Chain A
Amino acid sequence: MTWKKLAMMCLMGAGALLSPSVSFASDGDMTSLLACSNVLFLLLGAMFVFSMHAGFAFLEVGSVRKKNQVNALVKIITDWGISTIVYFLIGFPIAYGVSFLKPAADLLGTNMGFDLIHFFFLLTFAACIPAIISGGIAERAKFWPQSLAGGILVGFAYPFFESLVWGQRPFLGQEGGWLANLTGGIAFHDYAGSVVVHSIGGWLALPAIICLGARFKRYPDGQSQVIRVSNIPFLALGSWLLCIGWFGFNVMSAGSIEAISGLVAVNSLMAMVGGIVTALVISKNDVTFIHNSALAGLIAVCAGSDVMHPLGALATGAIAAAIFVMLFQIETEKMRIDDVLGVWPLHGVAGTWGGVACGIFGQKIFGGIGGVSLVAQCVGSLAAVVFALVCGSIVYSILKTTVGIRLSKHEEVIGSDLAIHHIEAYPEEAL
């Protein structure tokens, strides 16, 4: 089939959707239309989630000091680059058993290269792992060891866990898998990745942050001293970009256009506003808590967004925000863990809560669709915590003892922008 014919068919298909009187010549044309629609569907999803990485970048740019803004930007875009290469060559094959090391014609196949676009879509999820960790270890981590850690995690650790829930190893999330056999046939359910993506990212970040240690000015003489952020407008822009992209993250997790669900979209919306309003009240109108709690709501709703009632999603998001706001203060003030963007309470714990919440608000008694098991949700969510803590501890402690993961004190004082990138965020201001 030539590209021209294909393009014609897509155009005819689009026309057919607008005017029902046009009929298709054969079932084959209909199948092709579906195939190309699905490629487009996942491409749009991938682009939405790709835009979330701009959100990660600006959330971090705003949340660090001015002397570390360039580093935040470069980290996010280079982590994306490294993630793409390792996930293409290693990660995606580990997770789904599909290798791309074959002729391009075979990759295109008869379904317009659906596997490739499926890879692109899932890459945008995988690349969230280093982007999440980046926010926790900001302002004092060495560049190359962190890039290497990101590559290892996206190439091996994350796709292995992904394979246990969504991929080729029937263990936690697949019907007939190990967990489903224990819970009477109901597998662990994570629709869009509260657990697989966010909790894994957040719980990987925790050992990384602990291995790295606090920024040297954060707890001087045993006292907690808040390090102020550089730019609230950029921080808010980052949150907005993440929020908007999230509708691709959750809705396009349907995987194909026939499976699209308006429930997923509205549940995502409700969880997000549940997070916003809860943070507004309990943080006493704190701008950074409000903007991050929109994300807490979205993180928690990913898992059960296809099975909850919108009011269940609202409650899920509200509880996620409460967890995030309170736990961030405990983490940074009492536990003295210098998690710059609060990625452990935000992605880690709110993600774990999302896995559990799916087993609660997904039940019919709460107006949900049912077919989820609270036991399976707890087991799956806990498995992710253990897996991520173990992987994170191994990777970061090995890097720490071999190449080192932390900038020198002098480099930290002058800032990672000058120490690593030899430029400031606003070079004109240098005299």
Chain B
Amino acid sequence: MKKIEAIIQPERLEAVKKELFAASIHKMTVSRVKGCGQQMGYTEWYRGAIYKVNLLPKIKIDIAVNEDFVEAAVEAIIKGARTGQIGDGKIIITDIKECIRIRTGQRGNDAIG
């Protein structure tokens, strides 16, 4: 069981969702987050005053998958999110210790699938 955590550009979400669905991955949690990587933010103006905004809007997708879906999920995310520009994001994969489906009480691989 792996947890895939992808940080992507907000405007790529539709494409990533489409690719994930095409790879038969339908379960995900999506959050609006703010973060900064190499882009280092931008400046805003208010009544002549200039201030620095460091954190850019990003989308975070969390997906819990069984081992045989890991590569398919990673490929789908890259296919949907890659533009070649700075800020395309990152994918982080971690082991899941346990997973429980609340409705049925199932555990492990059955709970994820």
List chain A residues, Cβ under 8 A from B46: 423, 427
Interface centre among A418, A421, A431 (most CB of B within 10 A): A431
| Interchain CB contact under 8 A, A422 and B45 | yes
Give the docked Cα–Cα distance between A418 and B53 (Å): 11
- Say yes or no: is A217 at the interface (Cβ < 8 Å to chain B): yes
Binary per-residue interface labels of chain A (393-431) against chain B in the complex, 1 for a CB within 8 Å, 0 otherwise: 000000000000000000001100010011110010011
Tell me if B34 is interfacial: C-beta within 8 Å of chain A: yes
- Contact partners of A217 in chain B: CB under 8 A: 11, 14
Asked whether A78 is an interface residue with its Cβ less than 8 Å from the other chain, the reply is: no
* Per-residue interface assignment for chain B, residues 51 to 79, with 1 indicating a CB less than 8 Å from any chain A CB and 0 otherwise: 00111000000000000000000000000
Q: With the chains together, A421 CA to B46 CA distance in Å? A: 9
**Size category of the binding interface on chain B:** 10 to 19
A225 within 8 A of B: yes
Is the pair B53, A430 in contact by a Cβ cutoff of 8 Å? yes
The answer to whether A431 and B54 touch across the interface, beta carbons within 8 angstroms, is: yes
Q: Please state if A431 and B55 are interface contacts (CB–CB under 8 Å).
A: yes
A427–B43 CA distance with the chains assembled, in angstroms = 12
B42 pairs with A413, CB closer than 8 A: no
B11 touches A422 (CB 8 A): no
Residue B44 CB within 8 A of the other chain: yes
Q: Give the contacts of A186-227 with B (CB-CB under 8 A).
A: 217, 220, 225
Residues of A within 8 A of B9 (CB): 413
In the complex, which of the residues A217, A413, A430 has the most CB atoms of chain B within 10 Å of its own CB atom? A430
**Does A423 contact B14, Cβ atoms closer than 8 Å?**
no
CB–CB A430/B11 < 8 A: no
Q: Tell me the complex Cα distance, A325–B99, Å.
A: 49
Distance A431 CA – B34 CA, assembled complex (angstroms): 8
The docked-state distance in angstroms from the alpha carbon of A418 to that of B44 is 7
Alpha-carbon gap, A422 to B54, bound state (A): 14
Q: Which of A225, A424, A430 contacts B14 (CB 8 A)?
A: A225
B53 proximity list for chain A (CB < 8 A): 430-431
Point out the residues of chain A lying under 8 angstroms from B55, CB to CB: 430-431
**A217, B14: Cα distance in complex, Å:** 10
Q: Which of A220, A225, A424 contacts B44 (CB 8 A)?
A: A424
A418 and B42 form a contact (CB under 8 A): yes
A430-B53, A431-B53 given; A423·B11 CB < 8 A = no
- A423 engages B34 (CB within 8 Å): no
CA distance in complex: A129, B48 (Å): 31
Q: Which residues of A contact B44 (CB under 8 A)?
A: 418, 422-424, 427, 430
Closest to B36 in A: A431
Indicate the member of B34, B44, B45, B54 with the most A CB atoms within 10 Å.
B44
Cα of A206 to Cα of B77 in the assembled complex, Å:
38
Q: Least Cβ distance of A208 to chain B in Å?
A: 24
Q: Mark A86-116, 1 if CB is under 8 A from B, else 0.
A: 0000000000000000000000000000000
Closest to B42 in A: A418
CA distance A225 to B42 in the complex (A): 29
Q: By the criterion CB–CB under 8 Å, are A413 and B54 in contact? A: no
| Residues of chain B in range 17-60 having any CB-CB distance to chain A below 8 Å | 34, 42-46, 53-55
Identify the closest chain B residue to A430 (Cβ).
B53
Whether the Cβ atoms of A423 and B42 lie closer than 8 Å is no
Question: Measured between alpha carbons, how far is A197 from B14 in the docked complex, in Å?
Answer: 39
Q: Are A413 and B11 in contact (CB under 8 A)?
A: yes
A241 to B9: give the CA distance in the assembly, Å: 36
| Chain A residues whose CB sits within 8 angstroms of the CB of B34 once the complex forms | 431
Smallest Cβ-Cβ distance to B47: which chain A residue: A423
Least CB distance, B79 to chain A, in whole angstroms:
13
State the Cβ distance, B53 to closest chain A Cβ, in Å.
4
Bound form: Cα–Cα A225–B14 in Å: 10
CB distance from A414 to the nearest CB of B (A): 8
* Complex contact A422–B14 (CB within 8 A): no
- Do A423 and B45 touch across chains, with their CB atoms under 8 A apart? yes
List A contacts of B42 (CB < 8 A): 414, 418
List the A side residues contacting B43 at CB < 8 Å.
Answer: 422
Shortest distance between the CB of B40 and any CB in chain A (Å): 13
Separation of A421 and B44 alpha carbons in the complex (Å): 8
Least distance between B4 CB and chain A CB atoms (Å): 24
Distance in Å from the Cβ of B48 to the closest Cβ of chain A? Answer: 11
Interface positions of B (Cβ within 8 A of A): 9, 11, 14-15, 34, 42-46, 53-55
Binding site for B on A (CB under 8 A): 217, 220, 225, 413-414, 418, 421-424, 427, 430-431
Other A-B contacts than A421-B45, A422-B43, 5 sampled, CB-CB below 8 A, are A217-B14, A418-B44, A427-B44, A430-B44, A430-B53
24 A-B pairs, CB-CB below 8 angstroms? A217-B11, A217-B14, A220-B15, A225-B14, A413-B9, A413-B11, A414-B42, A418-B42, A418-B44, A422-B43, A422-B44, A422-B45, A423-B44, A423-B45, A423-B46, A424-B44, A427-B44, A427-B46, A430-B44, A430-B53, A430-B55, A431-B34, A431-B54, A431-B55
Across the A-B interface, the 6 shortest Cβ-Cβ residue pairs? A422-B45, A431-B55, A430-B53, A431-B34, A423-B44, A422-B44
